[in-house]
């Protein structure tokens, strides 16, 4: 079979299964079965497919995924994350758009402790939205910051998606995790800048509350911050610092993070059997889904290569003699378009088998490209009509708020994310500077 026919068969079958409503993972598994039967030798091919699938998820490099997930689940289900948000709100007073700022600072703090954008958005939405609505915040100032800051969990470690991307793309997981820190912080600063400027220009969009004028001073104001926030930030520093110093691998740093999280819950007296059990159950659920995805994606890439589809397509692109800059722009543009109609996992599974060989052949820095791919995936979370965080936000707001209002609330923050992507593209050191410090 010619490579064009093999490529059309594999991608055509994939989109067919997805179009009829088959879950993404099972759509890929179905295509893998078809490809194994046709390209690997029928029954013998199926046996080989089983071996390939098994080997794809038995790699020790995947261990950080369940550990990072567990780290966030422990802090979430023991309530320490909520205490941190309350401490941040107590610290801020007489500031325009106070609750929007608390959402961004609190969401960024939780992003350093949880690798889940969905969990981040759902938690912040449940905690902050009722009070914002009571005070009459404009939709852009209430829903927008919560959705935007939720995506930062994808960039700042611990990020399960970054570990998945590194595994699928063959990028150093350690360097990719570190590389997302600076772009994530720049993004958070951009969100804060927008909220502060808009609050001053249009104070009616973020009304203050008379109770804000009655605030504590001195140590009583800062005590909750040092008690409930600083120890949690120390966990993030331990995770990232151990990798930067070269003392720990991603797996070891993830284990350090879990241990520190459990010790913190014991110290605060928040650990309970129920919290541990719930955290373990939720971690198992998320980890199984991720491992299913990795198994399906890895085998899909192997079948594309074995059938000659990926080799033929890559030869066609190489024949165009595109320079590396044009090539990267094309990749990012494709991902931005895919983000409008596909979830982040599907985007990676479809694009990476083609993108990474092209990037490696063109000499593109893999960490730089990996961080930009993470940013485009984050942009996809807020891109209508099927941005995942848009749907999550719809699930936590009253039914009276229409989906189109949620779309409009996301637009200013979507523009900020695109600007950050352009900054990383034009100044690669933003993504590669910190990873280059790893000893």
SS3 assignment, position 115: coil
pLDDT digits (tens, 9 = 90+) for 85-127: 778 877 777 677 888 888 888 888 877 777 677 777 777 777 7
* Predicted local confidence at residue 120, as pLDDT: 74
What percent of the residues of the chain are helix, what percent strand, and what percent coil, each to the nearest 5? 80, 0, 20
* Predicted local confidence at residue 89, as pLDDT: 75
SS3 assignment, position 271: coil
Two structure tokens written together for 374: 């993470």
Question: Given a cut of 60, is residue 214 above it in pLDDT?
Answer: no
* Predicted local confidence at residue 374, as pLDDT: 93
- Distance separating alpha carbons of residues 378 and 339, to the nearest angstrom: 9
Given a contact cutoff of 8 angstroms between Cβ atoms, the answer to whether 78 and 265 are in contact is: yes
- Count the neighbouring beta carbons within 10 Å of the beta carbon of residue 12: 11
- Count the neighbouring beta carbons within 10 Å of the beta carbon of residue 376: 25
Two structure tokens written together for 196: 């502060």
* Predicted local confidence at residue 366, as pLDDT: 92
- Distance separating alpha carbons of residues 264 and 83, to the nearest angstrom: 13
- Give the residue-averaged pLDDT of 212-218: 58
DSSP states of 122-173 as a string?
HHHHHHHHHHHHHHT--HHHHHHHHHHHHHGGGTSSS-HHHHHHHHHHT--H
pLDDT digits (tens, 9 = 90+) for 320-342: 777 889 999 988 998 888 887 66
Question: Given a cut of 90, is residue 430 above it in pLDDT?
Answer: yes
* Predicted local confidence at residue 341, as pLDDT: 66
Q: Name the residue among 62, 58, 68, 63 with its Cα closest to residue 279.
A: 68
- Give the residue-averaged pLDDT of 308-330: 78
* Predicted local confidence at residue 123, as pLDDT: 73
Q: Residue 368: which residues within 8 A CB-CB, separation 6 or more?
A: 179, 424, 428, 431, 432
Given a contact cutoff of 8 angstroms between Cβ atoms, the answer to whether 287 and 65 are in contact is: yes
* Predicted local confidence at residue 370, as pLDDT: 94
Question: Given a cut of 90, is residue 291 above it in pLDDT?
Answer: no
| pLDDT bracket for residue 216 (50, 70, 90) | low
Q: How many helices (H) and strands (E) does the chain have?
A: 22, 0
* Predicted local confidence at residue 422, as pLDDT: 96
- Distance separating alpha carbons of residues 252 and 239, to the nearest angstrom: 9
pLDDT digits (tens, 9 = 90+) for 239-288: 888 888 778 888 888 888 889 889 988 988 888 888 889 889 988 887 88
* Predicted local confidence at residue 153, as pLDDT: 81
| pLDDT bracket for residue 210 (50, 70, 90) | low
| pLDDT bracket for residue 194 (50, 70, 90) | very high
Q: Residue 402: which residues within 8 A CB-CB, separation 6 or more?
A: none
Place of tokens 């692109």: 317
Average pLDDT across the chain, whole number: 82
- The CA-atom distances, in angstroms, between 127 and each of 82, 85, 107 are 8, 9, 11
Question: Given a cut of 70, is residue 310 above it in pLDDT?
Answer: no
CA neighbours closer than 13 Å in the CB half-sphere of residue 13: 17
Sign of CA dihedral 222, 226, 232, 236: positive
Sign of CA dihedral 126, 132, 137, 142: negative
Percent of the chain with pLDDT over 90: 14
pLDDT digits (tens, 9 = 90+) for 118-152: 777 777 777 788 878 888 888 888 888 988 888 88
* Predicted local confidence at residue 212, as pLDDT: 56
pLDDT digits (tens, 9 = 90+) for 19-43: 787 776 778 788 888 888 877 777 7
Q: Name the residue among 428, 416, 410 with its Cα closest to residue 144.
A: 410
pLDDT digits (tens, 9 = 90+) for 342-389: 677 778 877 888 888 888 888 899 999 999 999 999 898 888 876 778
| pLDDT bracket for residue 423 (50, 70, 90) | very high
* Predicted local confidence at residue 211, as pLDDT: 59
How big is the chain, counted in residues? 439
Cα angle value 44/45/49 (rounded, 5°) = 120
**Domain range annotation of the chain:** 3-437
Q: Name the residue among 397, 380, 398 with its Cα closest to residue 389.
A: 380
* Predicted local confidence at residue 415, as pLDDT: 94
Given a contact cutoff of 8 angstroms between Cβ atoms, the answer to whether 88 and 229 are in contact is: yes
Q: How far is CA 86 from the centre of its chain?
A: 24
- Distance separating alpha carbons of residues 94 and 217, to the nearest angstrom: 12
Question: Given a cut of 70, is residue 217 above it in pLDDT?
Answer: no
* Predicted local confidence at residue 52, as pLDDT: 72
CA neighbours closer than 13 Å in the CB half-sphere of residue 292: 15
Cis peptide preceding 347, ω within 30 of 0? no
- Distance separating alpha carbons of residues 283 and 244, to the nearest angstrom: 26
Cα angle value 182/186/192 (rounded, 5°) = 145
């Amino acid at each position: 079979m010619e490579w064009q026919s093999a490529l059309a068969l594999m991608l055509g079958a994939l989109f067919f299964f997805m179009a009829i409503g088959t879950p993404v993972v099972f759509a890929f598994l179905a295509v893998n079965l078809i490809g194994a039967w046709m390209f690997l030798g029928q029954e013998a091919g199926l046996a080989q497919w089983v071996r390939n699938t098994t080997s794809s998820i038995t790699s020790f490099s995947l261990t950080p995924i369940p550990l990072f997930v567990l780290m966030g689940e422990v802090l979430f289900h023991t309530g320490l994350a909520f205490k941190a948000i309350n401490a941040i709100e107590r610290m801020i007073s007489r500031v325009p758009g106070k609750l929007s700022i608390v959402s961004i600072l609190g969401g960024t703090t939780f992003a350093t402790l949880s690798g889940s954008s969905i969990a981040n958005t759902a938690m912040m939405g449940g905690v902050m939205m009722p009070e914002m609505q009571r005070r009459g915040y404009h939709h852009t100032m209430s829903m927008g910051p919560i959705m935007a800051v939720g995506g930062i969990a994808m960039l700042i470690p611990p990020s399960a998606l970054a570990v998945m991307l590194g595994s699928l793309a063959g990028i150093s997981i350690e360097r990719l995790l570190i590389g997302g820190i600076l772009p994530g912080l720049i993004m958070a600063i951009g969100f804060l800048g927008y909220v502060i400027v808009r609050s001053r220009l249009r104070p009616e969009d973020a009304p203050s509350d008379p109770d804000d004028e009655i605030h504590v001073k001195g140590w009583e104001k800062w005590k909750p911050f040092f008690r409930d926030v600083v120890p949690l930030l120390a966990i993030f520093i331990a995770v990232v610092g151990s990798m930067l110093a070269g003392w720990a691998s991603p797996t070891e740093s993830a284990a350090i993070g879990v241990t520190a999280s459990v010790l913190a819950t014991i110290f605060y007296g928040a650990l309970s059997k129920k919290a541990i059990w719930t955290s373990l159950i939720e971690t198992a659920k998320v980890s199984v889904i991720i491992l299913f995805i990795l198994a399906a994606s890895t085998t899909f890439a192997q079948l594309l290569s074995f059938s000659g589809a990926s080799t033929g397509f890559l030869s066609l692109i190489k024949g165009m003699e595109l320079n590396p800059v044009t090539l990267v722009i094309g990749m990012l543009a494709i991902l931005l378009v895919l983000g409008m109609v596909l979830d982040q996992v599907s985007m990676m599974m479809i694009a990476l088998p083609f993108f990474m060989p092209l990037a490696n052949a063109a000499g593109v820095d893999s960490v730089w490209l990996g961080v930009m791919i993470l940013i485009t995936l984050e942009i996809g979370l807020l891109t209508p009509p099927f941005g995942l965080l848009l749907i999550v936000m719809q699930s936590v707001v009253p039914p009276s708020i229409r989906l189109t209002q949620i779309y409009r609330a996301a637009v200013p923050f979507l523009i900020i994310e695109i600007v950050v992507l352009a900054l990383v593209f034009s100044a690669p050191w933003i993504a590669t500077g910190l990873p280059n410090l790893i000893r």
